[in-house]
């Protein structure tokens, strides 16, 4: 089912667990979405919200920034809207208890420059309006940078940094959104 996280079409107390995996940073009103998640939880239920840390794919951000030039910076949705650095603040607006769990940092090892270029190309609609350079030029430059790194080092390592918020209410029952 595709639904608006700010207006879920489920009855109060429908679920034991609600999973919000890498999506709250796309929601215009995070507090409303969190309250909706709480509303559809049964008493004792949990919201599990997964999001990125600012260090996530920092190596790729650096490649894109270098390709654009001029001091331009990549700002990912989780950097500003909802990430490990500020997610608890948003979620405590809807839940009494918010536990933060940082996942161990790991790495994605990429040996295909075309996969890197395809990922960067997918960002076109978000970043193209921010720069004067055609995004296809940026993609080409990143492809060349990635190819060079892969040829020299055997692969491109991208930091995988994320975490989880486990949210619940102290009370035994759910409360209505306020």
Per-residue confidence (pLDDT) for residue 178, from 0 to 100: 41
Query: Taking the model in full, what pTM does it have?
Result: 0.83
List the alpha helices (DSSP H) in the chain: 30-39, 58-68, 77-80, 87-91, 113-121, 124-127, 135-153
Dist. CA 84–CA 71, nearest whole Å = 25
Neighbours of 162 (CB within 10 A): 22
For the chain, give the mean pLDDT. 93
Dist. CA 82–CA 95, nearest whole Å = 16
User: Do the domain assignments include residue 148?
Assistant: yes
Phi, psi (deg, nearest 5) at residue 134: -65, 135
User: Do the domain assignments include residue 7?
Assistant: no
**Buried b / exposed e along 75-94 (16+ C-beta atoms within 10 A):** ebbbbebbbbebbeebbeeb
Percent of the chain scored above 70 by pLDDT? Answer: 94
User: Do the domain assignments include residue 29?
Assistant: yes
Neighbours of 124 (CB within 10 A): 14
Domain limits for position 60 = 15-168
Residues contacting 123, CB < 8 A, separation 6+: 64, 135
C-alpha dihedral sign at 58, 157, 160, 30: positive
Residue 105 per-residue DSSP state: P
Per-residue confidence (pLDDT) for residue 35, from 0 to 100: 97
Dist. CA 47–CA 93, nearest whole Å = 13
User: Do the domain assignments include residue 1?
Assistant: no
52 — pLDDT class (breaks 50, 70, 90): very high
Beta carbons of 73 and 44 less than 8 angstroms apart: no
User: Do the domain assignments include residue 173?
Assistant: no
User: Do the domain assignments include residue 2?
Assistant: no
Per-residue confidence (pLDDT) for residue 78, from 0 to 100: 67
Domain count, the chain: 1
CATH number of the CATH domain containing 140:
3.40.50.150
User: Do the domain assignments include residue 118?
Assistant: yes
User: Do the domain assignments include residue 91?
Assistant: yes
**First CA to last CA distance, the chain:** 26
């Amino acid at each position: 089912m595709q639904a608006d996280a700010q207006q879920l079409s489920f009855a109060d107390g429908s679920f034991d667990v609600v999973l919000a995996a890498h999506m709250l940073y796309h929601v215009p009103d995070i507090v409303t979405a969190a309250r909706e998640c709480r509303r559809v939880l049964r008493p004792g239920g949990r919201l599990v919200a997964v999001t990125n840390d600012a260090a996530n794919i920092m190596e790729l951000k650096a490649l894109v920034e270098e390709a654009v030039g001029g001091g331009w910076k990549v700002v990912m949705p989780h950097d500003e809207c909802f990430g490990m650095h500020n997610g608890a603040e948003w979620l405590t607006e809807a839940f009494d208890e918010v536990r933060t769990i940082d996942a161990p940092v790991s790495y994605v090892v990429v040996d295909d420059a075309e996969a890197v270029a395809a990922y960067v190309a997918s960002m076109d609609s978000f970043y193209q309006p921010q720069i004067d350079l055609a995004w296809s030029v940026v993609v080409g430059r990143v492809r060349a940078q990635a190819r060079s790194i892969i040829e020299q080092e055997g692969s491109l390592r991208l930091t995988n940094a994320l975490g989880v918020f486990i949210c619940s209410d102290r009370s035994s029952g759910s409360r209505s959104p306020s």
